[in-house]
Amino acid sequence: MRLRLTPREDSFYDMFADSANNLVTGARLLVELISDGADRPAIAEKMRACEHAGDECTHAIMRRLNETFITPFDREDIYRLASTIDDVMDEMEEAADLVVLYKIEEFPKGIVHMVEVLERAAELTAEAMPRLRSMKELNEYWIEINRLENQGDQVYRKLLAHLFSGEYDTLTVLKMKQVIDRLEEAADAFEHVANTVETIAVKES
């Protein structure tokens, strides 16, 4: 256990928790978005508000980082963690925006599984952030996120195979592929968050 002779700024933990909780909100909005009969423009608007809230969280962390001399862990890791969490939200918001812009009304069934992966990853990330204070019981988090990302990759490949099966016209394929690509990027971004947490935990152990 390290002995610290100077006070440090611990508000980063709460700020990361807020940022991760915002991802849970965003992922649940995606669940609503792909539901039958959903008011997709209204949900996309909520997602934009969620993305703006995420940006505010990220900017607040960066401002605090610039104002703080003693940080709870490496400055570079604080910056990276804030940035990767922000990347997740950006990808989810872009997927929702594309659904509305392209006026997509029906989705391949497999997309439900992709969104379920994102929702679970968001929940696990939000649960993990408070544990940064103690750096304990985090290994199961990044192991499970890695498993979910692999699951997401499998779902993504199956979705692509279904899209290119000949069931859909070319324009629909192009539109749907962009949305699915954004969801897959969001799953990758969740893994980047978990990798950053693992790096922090290893350094602090």
The model's pLDDT over 119-132, given as tens digits with 9 standing for 90+, comes to 999 999 999 999 99
Per-residue confidence (pLDDT) for residue 81, from 0 to 100: 97
Report how far residue 149's alpha carbon sits from residue 189's, in angstroms, rounded to the nearest whole number: 9
In terms of residue numbers, what domain contains 110? 10-204
**In this model, does residue 153 exceed pLDDT 50?**
yes
The rounded mean pLDDT for the chain is 93
Q: Which pLDDT band, with edges at 50, 70 and 90, does 10 fall under?
A: confident
Number of domains in the chain: 1
- Asked, for residue 3, whether it belongs to a domain, the answer is no
- Asked, for residue 2, whether it belongs to a domain, the answer is no
CA angle 134, 68, 190 (to 5 degrees): 50
Q: Which pLDDT band, with edges at 50, 70 and 90, does 183 fall under?
A: very high
Q: In this structure, what token pair is assigned to residue 40?
A: 């997709």
- Asked, for residue 84, whether it belongs to a domain, the answer is yes
Report how far residue 27's alpha carbon sits from residue 33's, in angstroms, rounded to the nearest whole number: 10
Per-residue confidence (pLDDT) for residue 6, from 0 to 100: 37
Which pLDDT tens digit goes with each residue over 11-32? 999 999 999 999 999 999 999 9
Please give the average per-residue pLDDT across 31-39, as a whole number: 95
Please give the average per-residue pLDDT across 61-90, as a whole number: 94
List Cβ<8 Å contacts ≥24 apart for 61-67.
61/12, 61/15, 61/16, 61/19, 64/9, 64/11, 64/12, 64/15, 65/12
Per-residue confidence (pLDDT) for residue 92, from 0 to 100: 98
Question: How many other CB atoms sit within 10 Å of the CB of residue 56?
Answer: 13
| 172: CATH | 1.20.58.220
Q: What is the pTM of this model?
A: 0.92
- Asked, for residue 1, whether it belongs to a domain, the answer is no
Per-residue confidence (pLDDT) for residue 3, from 0 to 100: 37
Per-residue confidence (pLDDT) for residue 109, from 0 to 100: 85
